[in-house]
A = this chain, B = another copy of it.
Amino acid sequence: SRSIDLAVIPGDGIGQEVVAQGLKVLSAVLPQDVKLETKEFDFGARRYHATGETLTDADLEALKGHDAILLGAIGDPSVPSGVLERGFLLKLRFAFDHHVNLRPSKLLPGVATPLAGQPEIDFVVVREGTEGPYTGNGGTIRKGTEHEVATEVSVNTAFGVERVVRDAFARAQARPRKKLTLVHKNNVLTFAGHLWTNIFNKVAEEFPEVTTDYIHVDAATIFLVTQPERFDVIVTDNLFGDIITDLAAAVSGGIGVAASGNINPSGEFPSMFEPVHGSAPDIAGQGKADPSATVLSVALLLRHLGYEAEAARIEEAVSADLAERVGKPARSTEEIGDALALRVAG
């Protein structure tokens, strides 16, 4: 008999509320013969204030044995900027070698976009997750003086770039349009840019059916608002991926519906799935948060674990739910979760 052993990290702010709905929908969609086990972890601002800890070696050890991780959101204004980001979220992505940061953008029927003319949007960003300017390399001298110098080093390796580029090509190959765009800034960041461009061109030879192109990250932001339909799969570095996926989420229905996976394709460590939105402390505890992004992250989680039919059922349910919202009064986090659970069970 099959089983899913899930580590659950509700985290801060609305994280608690949306994860509860994500789990509800997960339970509802799974066939009877699949045994779901969940273990909750208390990472986030409260634990940090109580113990000073963000993520210890023992924590990593405890997470390691699970099949996957579902994360709500981490972050609170009471914690200095960077502490939980570097000490928890990025530490986990790096420790578990989550090098494929997968962020699909699809504008679903009935969903509002800030763009005029309701364009067709259906692309996936494959963001590198363990290198680039995110490594924490760099430092500060003469801190606090008028002679302070602070550096940030973007580290890019052939090993790290090739594996994510190959993953992106495989994903492009599996989609109907079979198109892959490299986004970088190789005219200015020439060292990293040449590495990315050369590896991209080399791997392209192994995927003759995939159409490729290249655009600078600045131009990519223009296309994302003027011609989002030109994108099918995008592969890019950690920082550019961070920036353009927030924009992508904004144009394709907002961060209320943007899901993501931090994937370790080898399966050596559990992959982690999380909504793109943050902990939104301003609306926390009010039942106002849209759990759809978390529920769609559960779909990515299921697809990653091989439950394709169940993943698709969740995606159809969210799509149908969104389409029916038009002109109706807003529902609570729980009401949306209930409606989705009902749909996927049905």
Contact = CB atoms under 8 A, between A and B. Distances in A.
Nearest to A140: B191
B150 A194 contact: yes
Contacts of A247: 218, 221-222, 224-225, 247
Interface stretch (A45-53, A156-164, A327-335): A156-164
A209 interface: no
Interface residues of A, number: 67
Interface string A202-238: 0000000000000001110110111000000000000
Residue among A148, A192, A193 facing the most chain B CB atoms (10 A cut-off): A148
B251 A198 contact: no
A324 interface: no
A249 interface: yes
A152 interface: yes
B218 A187 contact: no
Contacts of A225: 114-115, 225, 247, 250-251
A13 to B, nearest CB: 15
B153 A158 contact: no
Contact of A226 (B85, B133, B155, B250): B250
Given A114-B226, A218-B243, A225-B250, A186 B151 contact: no
A176 interface: no
Given A139-B191, A152-B154, 8 more contacts: A114-B225, A138-B189, A152-B156, A221-B247, A224-B247, A225-B225, A225-B250, A225-B251
A246 B226 contact: no
Nearest 3 A/B pairs, CB to CB: A218-B246, A221-B247, A148-B158
Interface string A122-155: 0000000000011010111010111111111111
A319 to B, nearest CB: 21
Contacts of A138: 153-154, 189, 191-192
Interface of A: 81-82, 85-86, 90, 113-117, 133-134, 136, 138-140, 142, 144-159, 162, 185-195, 197-198, 217-219, 221-222, 224-226, 239, 242-247, 249-251, 254-255
Contacts of A117: 116
Contacts of A219: 246
A133 B86 contact: no
Contacts of A90: 188
A146 B133 contact: no
Contacts of A255: 222
Given A146-B159, A218-B243, A226-B250, A192 B151 contact: yes
Contacts of A224: 247
Given A152-B154, A153-B151, A153-B152, A134 B82 contact: no
Residue among A138, A191, A195, A242 facing the most chain B CB atoms (10 A cut-off): A191
A317 B224 CA distance: 31
Contact of A156 (B133, B149, B195, B198): B149
Nearest to A278: B219
Contact of A146 (B151, B158, B244, B245): B158
A286 to B, nearest CB: 21
A183 to B, nearest CB: 11
